[in-house]
């Protein structure tokens, strides 16, 4: 896996473009109080979004492989960071909202636990510094 980060230059303040090995690009920026122009997410917001995406991907894939009728999955993440540098995540809470037909809570718990403990590289890495908790709700589309 590869990624190249390029500062867009003095005229752009603290904006950076990340180009991934898979050929995608995303702009990241800092807050105005540190010289950014607020034209993209902060780098740590990208870490948080990547963690949510990684876990949601796992949960949907696990449920589908188990032949559960999942139709939608949202994950809302809330994080707290250390007050001092390095300002690592210290607390992370994931709230899953999963829609489907006749989804069983046990299947959803199993999918979330498998993601948290075995498959989601991002949350497993963050778990080295952060206390990670979760809850979920199932929306039945029967």
The pLDDT tens digits of the residues spanning 15-62 come to 999 999 999 999 999 999 999 999 999 999 999 999 999 999 999 999
Name residues whose C-beta falls within 8 Å of residue 75's C-beta, 6 or more positions apart in sequence.
52, 55, 56, 59, 94, 95, 96, 97
Here the tokens at position 119 are 């498959």
**pLDDT exceeds 90 at position 126:** yes
Phi, psi of 70 (to 5 degrees): -85, 135
Which helix H or strand E contains 47, and what residues bound it? Answer: helix 43-65
Domain boundaries, the chain: 3-34, 43-140
- Which among 22, 39, 21 is positioned nearest to 30, based on CA atoms? 39
Neighbours of 74 (CB within 10 A): 13
pTM of the model: 0.92
56, HSE (Cβ side, Cα atoms, 13 Å): 19
First to last CA, the chain: 41
Per residue in 86-117, pLDDT tens?
999 999 999 999 999 999 999 999 999 999 99
- What was the pLDDT predicted at 37? 92
- What was the pLDDT predicted at 11? 80
Please state, in angstroms and rounded to a whole number, the distance separating the CA atoms of residues 70 and 62.
10
Q: What is the mean pLDDT of residues 73-85?
A: 98
Per residue in 2-22, pLDDT tens?
999 999 987 878 999 999 999
CB distance 76 to 51 below 8 Å: no
For 43-140, CATH gives 3.30.300.20
**pLDDT exceeds 90 at position 142:** no
Residues in the chain: 142
């Amino acid at each position: 896996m590869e990624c190249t980060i390029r500062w867009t230059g003095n005229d752009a303040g603290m904006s950076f473009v990340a180009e991934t090995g898979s050929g995608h690009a995303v702009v990241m920026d800092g807050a105005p109080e540190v010289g950014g122009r607020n034209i993209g997410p902060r780098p740590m917001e990208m870490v948080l979004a990547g963690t949510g995406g990684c876990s949601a991907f796992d949960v949907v894939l696990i449920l589908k492989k188990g032949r559960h009728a999942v139709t939608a999955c949202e994950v809302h993440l809330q994080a707290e960071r250390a007050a001092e540098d390095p300002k690592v995540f210290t607390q992370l809470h994931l709230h899953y909202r999963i829609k489907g037909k006749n989804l069983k809570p046990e299947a959803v718990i199993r999918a979330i636990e498998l993601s948290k403990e075995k498959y989601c590289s991002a949350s497993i890495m963050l778990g080295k510094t952060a206390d990670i908790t979760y809850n979920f709700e199932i929306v039945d589309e029967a």
